[in-house]
Every structure is written in structure tokens, then in C-alpha cells.
Amino acid sequence: MRRWILLSLAVLGLLVAGAAVAVYFKARDRPSGKLDTELKGVSVGTADTRAITAPKKKKGYHLVDDKRCWLNFGGNPQRTLSRPSIDIGLPYRRFWSVGLGSYIEYPPSYCGGILYVNTFAGKTVALNSHNGTVIWQKKGGRKPSTPAIAGPRLIVSSHDGYVTAYNRFNGRRLWQLKVAAKVESSPVAVGRLVYFGATDGRLFCVYVRTGHIKWAYDTGGRINSSPSILGNSIFVTTYAGSIWRLNRDNGHKIWSKYLSRDFVRYASFYASASTDGKRLFTISRSGGVYALSASDGHVIWRSSVNSWGYATPAVAHGRVFFGGFDGRVRALRASTGQVVWSRRLGGRFLGPAFVAGKYVFISNLERNTYALRAADGKVMWHLDIGKYSPGIVTERHYFFTLNGIVQAWHGRRAPQILALQRRQLAAKHRVTSAPKKRSP
């Protein structure tokens, strides 16, 4: 008996020692991060800084532009993927559809009557939002990203390491920056600066007008995600399992947090971090769901979906919305992580959802797109086309980018549809109330 006790204690001691060694090496492998002052493998061409003038708009009721822009992936620098205040109802009628010949992994950006779409085949296409005609297009490396609108400029990233600024009205190239790594990160612009990450682990801050680098920070972990901005801070997730908060003016680290997948391994992040102003929300590739304090990085809550996680969470109505490879779409309470509802739709959800008013839109790889009621997850609308991220919403229209096809839809309660219904009702009233002619 004593022999078995000693043997058990010895085994337990070995396990504890092994765990201690694992923790030691795990902690030692954490990249500490630093500002990159050498900028190896980075080159910037000559910038075209001539003034940019927007073209004159044609007039007409049907040419009224949506006034609110969707400037980047997520719709805003916080990457919330939501417009909770918009109430245009469910999609009502499609009014144009255009095929781009290659699948579209990320949703478009929009401003002033022009949609900007990247394709995996390397095209950046500017489309007239009123009729779908091509205004201009450019070809380059693969682009699993959303172009970022920065005033009159459009900032485009690509797999071949090029980040390019175009005149967003006519497609004239203004400057081009080359990084010795892939750039899959969707840029985000605030004021005179634009930010993006690269797979060599560096986060870049670049002047919008010239493409010159203001600062670069080496996180030590591959960046496929897109940085998010809150106030004077910028946040980014990495494949190394880390989340960083930097001062976005000078790149100085405010905090970093490494999140564990298990006792030995760190998590790994493809999804970006979205924020509600207090908390950061993201999903690891192994299916861990995390909420962190934006102020100091401590973990507020964590959950798991038991499936791969690649989609940036959408944030609205005090909830976090996302789909998974298990075919489920979930809504969690933003403050606690409690499951509000979980709806099994089948298929595999890889791209992020977006919220339009009281509806959550999401697409699976099996070519289905759904609108679910945000309150309880009830399916309210379905379209037999999908893959990957469904699209965006404005105050007048839905724009879907599905399986290489861009579609424009009127919302059932959109201003132009309600106005049309009022005109039709008034015309009907005039006909029915007209006095009858007396017979001679």
C-alpha cells in the first residue's frame, strides 16, 4: 500500500513539474511587442497629392443617395457590423444584380452613391449604387478584405503586400505602399491616418494623403484581423493568441493580453475585435468567445461554441451576434455572455453577420442567407444564395455581396417605398373620388 502511495505521489510530482515547465515555456514564448523603427521590407512610392474634386451629381428622385456612409469593414471604426437605429424593414424587392466573376469574401463599403467591392480574384470595383453599372475597376493581388473610405480616397489592401490609395471617384492611383508580407487586414481610416495589419505581425499607421508611415508596431504574432478603434486607442488580435491596445497617435502600448485555449496552448485569432464602447468582443479559431474590458484588458466573460470561429461578432441592442461551423447562430448578452437565443439553421457559417434595425442577417457556405429577428432568433426572411458575409445596409437599401454577385434591394419600409405607396394611394383616391359625368 505504501508503495502505491509513493508511486502516486511521484506521478503527481512529475505532472506538477511538467505543468510548471509548460507554463514556464508558454510564458517565455509570449512576444512582448515593440515599435518597429527599422521598417524592413517596406517601400512607399511617390504620392499624387493633387486636389480631388467630386463629380457633379445628376438630379432625380430615383437618384437620391443614402446619406450615411458604410466606411469600412464593420461600418465604423469600432467594427460593430450594425445599424441598430435603421428601420427599413425586411428586403422587399431587388432592383439590380451584377456578377463580378469571383467570390467576395468581405462585404462592400459605401458612400455617396458608390459601392466599393473587393474580390478574391484581385479586383476592386466601384459600382453605381442606383443601377449597378461599373464606374471603374482595378486589378491586383487577391483581396479578402473590405476597402476603406477616407474622404475622397479609397484605401485597398491585398495579399501581395500592396496597400493602395485611389481617387474613389475615378480610380486614379494616388499612392502605393509595399510590405514584405500579406495584407489581409481591412484598413480603417480616422482623420488623416489609416491603419492596417500584416501577416508578419506588424500593425501600421499611415498618412492617408501620402502613404508615408507614421509608426509601425511589431506584435510578434501574425495579423489577419482588422484593427478596431475606440477614441484614441487601436485594438488588434493576432494568431499568437494576443490582443493589443495601442495609442493610435504614437503606437505606444497601453496593454496586451494573451488568452489561453487550454493549459498549454494559447488561443489564435482570425476574427477582429468589435467594441460597444466599454468591452471588446472576439472569437478564437478554436471557438472560444471572449469579452474583455477595453480599458485594461481583463477578461469579463468567456464562452465556447464548440466549433471553428472565424467571424467577427456583430454588436447591437446589448447583444453579440455570430454564427459558427456547427450551423448555429447565437445571440449572447454583451454584459454577461449569457445565451439569449441559439438557432440551428444548418450549414456552416464562416462570415460575420450584420444587424439592420431589429434583424440579424447572416449567410452560410451552403448558399443560404437569412434574416433573423434579433429579439428571439426567429427566421423572418430567406434567400437561396449565400457565401460569405451577406452585405451592408443604408437608410434606403440593402446591398448584398453573395457568391460573387452584388445585389441591391429596397427595404419594405424604406423611405422611397413608403413614398411610392403614398403616391399610389393618392392616385387611387383621386380616381375613385372623381365626379361622374352627367349624361346629356
Domains defined for the chain, CATH in brackets: 31-49+65-430 (2.130.10.10)
- Per-residue pLDDT, 421: 86
d(C-alpha 211, C-alpha 279), whole Å: 31
Residue 17's pLDDT is 41
Q: Residue 93: how many CA atoms within 13 Å on its side-chain side?
A: 6
Supply the pLDDT for residue 32.
Answer: 82
- 278 in the Ramachandran plot: left (φ > 0), alpha (ψ -120 to 50) or beta? alpha
Its pTM stands at 0.90
Q: Hey, is 7 helix, strand or coil?
A: helix
The dihedrals phi and psi of 139, each to the nearest 5 degrees, come to: -120, 140
Look at residue 340 in the predicted model and tell me its pLDDT.
98
Tens of pLDDT along the chain (440 residues)?
555 655 555 545 544 444 443 444 444 468 889 999 999 999 999 999 999 999 887 665 456 778 889 999 999 999 999 999 999 999 999 999 999 999 999 999 999 999 999 999 999 999 999 999 999 999 999 999 999 999 999 999 999 999 999 999 999 999 999 999 999 999 999 999 999 999 999 999 999 999 999 999 999 999 999 999 999 999 999 999 999 999 999 999 999 999 987 766 899 999 999 999 999 999 999 999 999 999 999 999 999 988 888 999 999 999 999 999 999 999 999 999 999 999 999 999 999 999 999 999 999 999 899 999 999 999 999 999 998 899 999 999 999 999 999 999 999 998 888 888 888 888 877 766 656 665 55
* Closest alpha carbon to 314 in 81, 48, 41: 81
Pull the grid cell for residue 342. 441559439
What confidence score (pLDDT) does residue 28 get?
44
User: Tell me, what's the pLDDT at 7?
Assistant: 54
Q: What pairs with residue 140 in β-bridges?
A: none
CA angle 175, 192, 71 (to 5 degrees): 85
Question: Which residues does 239 contact at the CB level (< 8 Å), separation at least 6?
Answer: 221, 222, 223, 224, 268, 269, 270
SS3 196: strand
- The backbone torsions φ and ψ at residue 166, rounded to the nearest 5 degrees and listed phi first, read -120, 155
